[in-house]
Amino acid sequence: MTRSMSDRTVLITGASSGIGAACARHFAESGARLILTARRKEKLQILADQLQQSQSVETLLLPLDVQQADAVAIAIAGLPTDWQAIDVLVNNAGLSRGLDKQYESPLQDWEEMIDTNVKGLLYVTRSVVPGMVMRGRGHVVNIGSIAARQVYPGGSVYCATKAAVKSISEGLKMDLLGTAVRVTNIEPGLVETEFSEVRFRGDGERAKSVYEGMTPLTPGDIADTILFAVTRPAHVNISEIFVMPTDQSSVSQVHRRSA
């Protein structure tokens, strides 16, 4: 089965780190041209330079805060003509903030998670999908989470945003019925990225403890799964993939080896 994405244009949100950066590397290896977006332009530039050197891949950097509806619409509408035909959208930008009890949590944390994980994903989708429908081809990959399936203490709002991603993915598939555009929702368990550092606002020790004594998924494992989904034949829509580390069986059950 081919995994070539030769000459396909792929837009990845949250490409400056973790799963998004790994997607950029995997798609580059498969021959795609990449639109890389995130807020940290310098990180995108480093990644683009690496990809240029290793794969001679064509990249376009689109520094963007997905929380800003107007900026998203203007950036996508303003893409150079030869970058407008996006074949694959990977809606990956997302974050969690804190593990406070729901009734004690700072409102700012909720707003950031909802504005990024739910509204940001919708804004990008709204700007990209009409072109896919018009061209009669395209694939939207949303990054959900195990958190959509199981809630954990202190995680209710993050979990709610990922449950929203599940509903948004299912609803988009319904609204696209009769077109050739496909929709996939990827739901990872623990993946070692900057995710926990962001959640704990740079507390490296606390972030590290999340993965202590266990083998988490790598960002490359998820990128590989995404590449699998988007390289199936045009009549095959992989609607959902739930990927766990072998050392994890639920949000709260993780097998840890003592040192």
The residue among 40, 33, 34 whose CA lies nearest residue 14 is: 40
For residues 62, 239, 148, 203, the Cα torsion angle rounded to the nearest 10 degrees is -40
For residues 158, 162, 165, 171, the Cα torsion angle rounded to the nearest 10 degrees is -120
Closer residue to ligand NAP in complex, CB, 82/212: 212
Choose one: 3-11, 81-89, 166-174, 184-192; the region binding ligand NAP (CB under 6 A): 184-192
Chain residues 124-183 in contact with ligand NAP, contact rule CB under 6 A: 143, 145
For residues 250, 252, 255, 256, the Cα torsion angle rounded to the nearest 10 degrees is 150
**Among positions 9, 16, 127, 225, the unique one binding ligand NAP when judged by CB under 6 A:** 16
Closer residue to ligand NAP in complex, CB, 74/134: 74
**Among positions 38, 90, 157, 176, the unique one binding ligand NAP when judged by CB under 6 A:** 38
Measured between its terminal Cα atoms, the distance across the chain in Å is 42
The total of other beta-carbon atoms located within 10 Å of residue 156's CB is 16
Amino acid letter, residue 34: L
Chain residues 189-248 in contact with ligand NAP, contact rule CB under 6 A: 190-191, 193-195, 198, 219
Joined together, the tokens standing for residue 32 give 């795609």
**Among positions 8, 10, 11, 14, the unique one binding ligand NAP when judged by CB under 6 A:** 14
Joined together, the tokens standing for residue 89 give 């959208």
Joined together, the tokens standing for residue 13 give 């949100």
Q: Quick check: is 152 catalytic?
A: no
Closer residue to ligand NAP in complex, CB, 195/200: 195
Joined together, the tokens standing for residue 186 give 């990827």
The active-site residue, picked from 103, 152, 158, 211, is 158
Size of the site for ligand NAP (CB under 6 A): 31
What residues make contact with ligand NAP under the rule CB under 6 A? 13-14, 16-20, 38-40, 43, 64-67, 92-95, 116, 120, 143, 145, 188, 190-191, 193-195, 198, 219
